[in-house]
Amino acid sequence: MDLISAMRSFVRVYESGSFSVAATHLALGQPAVSKSIAQLEEKLATKLFLRSTRGLTPTDAARTFYEHAVRTLDEAELALKAVRGEPASLTGRLRVSGTITFVRRHIIPRLPGFLDKHPGLDIDLLLDDGNVGLIEEGAEVALRMGKLPSSNLVARRIGQCRRVVVAKPDYFARHGTPRQPEDLGDHAAIVLSRGEGGEQMAFIKDGVAREIGLKPRLRISALEGVRSAVLAGLGVAVASEWIFTEELDDGRVVEALTDWELPRLDLWAVLPGGRHAGPKARAFIAFVEEQLAKTRYGIGAAQ
């Protein structure tokens, strides 16, 4: 058995969920793909797929093997290119998890250059504000905000931004601009109900912290909702600056309490525990870090 070819067949079957689709992608007959998977299962002494009339279901062993197989194929491809003196263009598929608003506003608009550099690479973007687990999503790398839960994840801090008190100018014109953190108690607060949100905020000035409680008029479970509510003039929000980058720059949204600071929000590149980043994950993380370095959200820029 050609182990590399068997791994390639396995990865295609795993990703497509079909022997016939995998065979088409590999330009092989379906019996050849089925035989390759059967030989691989025999060598591993375990089932990789459960077959039923509803299709193929990967086993836990298949999910574990997939991570290693993808990394092995990536490294083998890079080794071949290095020996041939070819550019190290990436191929295959990369699954990236991230929060909806950040990826939509700050990553997707910058993706064309990355994909042009790697025409053989496909990306699956798995967007969710709930920080779903990497293993559950099958993601190879995730972009996570704020404090990370204690886990076996491998994380690298690649960005940072301020938290700001924001509202539309006409909202402050109608209700007054808060001058002290305690003044927020007189305002309709728009609160993210999970993740980086909450109703308690710690403001810092001259090394002294003040803990204040917001009075939510709206509790919203997604950042896109918080953003829309602020832009609709429904109240004031304590939010990460990168949700409102353009609006703060052009004055559609204004910041209050600028002489006070809030704890900054970190952006992390996260890998499943125990894994070293493969070439595709490394390249994507480097791309994001490079793009952030051009903005006020790169490490050091937000200080």
Give the Å distances, CA to CA, from 42 to 22, 36, 39, 56, 112: 20, 10, 5, 18, 42
Domains 93-160+266-293 and 163-263 fall in the same CATH topology? yes
Digit-coded pLDDT (tens) for 243-281: 999 999 999 999 999 999 998 888 988 876 545 567 888
How many other CB atoms are there within 10 angstroms of residue 134's CB atom?
22
Residue 303: per-residue pLDDT: 46
User: What pLDDT, in 10s, does the model give residues 44-85?
Assistant: 999 999 887 777 888 888 888 887 887 788 777 767 766 766
Cα 229 to Cα 111: distance, rounded to the nearest angstrom: 28
The domain 93-160+266-293: what is its CATH number? 3.40.190.10
Spatial distance between the Cα atoms of 77 and 147, rounded to a whole number of angstroms: 36
Q: Is 136 exposed, middle or buried (0-12, 13-18, 19+ CB in 10 A)?
A: exposed
Predicted pLDDT of residue 92: 80
Structure tokens at 295: 């903005």
Q: What is the pTM of this model?
A: 0.69
SS3 97: strand
Task: Spell out where the chain has E strands.
Answer: 49-52, 55-58, 91-98, 120-127, 141-145, 154-161, 163-167, 189-192, 200-205, 208-213, 216-220, 236-240, 254-256, 265-271
Pick 3-71's CATH classification: 3.50.50.60, 1.10.10.10, 1.20.1280.290, 3.40.50.300: 1.10.10.10
Architecture category of domain 163-263 in CATH:
3-Layer(aba) Sandwich (3.40)
The helix-helix angle for 19-26 and 30-44 (nearest 10°) equals: 110
pLDDT per residue as tens, the chain (303 positions): 788 889 889 988 887 788 888 888 788 898 999 999 999 999 999 999 988 777 788 888 888 888 788 778 877 776 776 676 655 567 788 889 888 888 999 999 999 999 998 888 899 998 887 655 555 556 788 898 887 765 656 788 899 999 999 999 999 999 999 999 999 989 999 998 876 667 888 999 988 888 988 889 999 988 889 999 999 999 999 999 999 999 999 999 999 999 999 988 889 888 765 455 678 888 899 999 999 988 888 875 544
What pLDDT sits at residue 180? 93
In which region does residue 19 sit, left (phi positive, over 0), alpha (psi from -120 to 50) or beta (all else)? Answer: alpha
Distance CA 11, CA 21 (A): 12
DSSP string across 109-135: GGHHHHHHH-TEEEEEEEE-TT---HH
Choose among 155, 150, 243, 151: nearest CA to 192. 243
Token match 């042009």: residue?
Answer: 116
Q: What's the token pair of residue 172?
A: 């402050």
Domain boundary assignment for the chain: 3-71, 93-160+266-293, 163-263
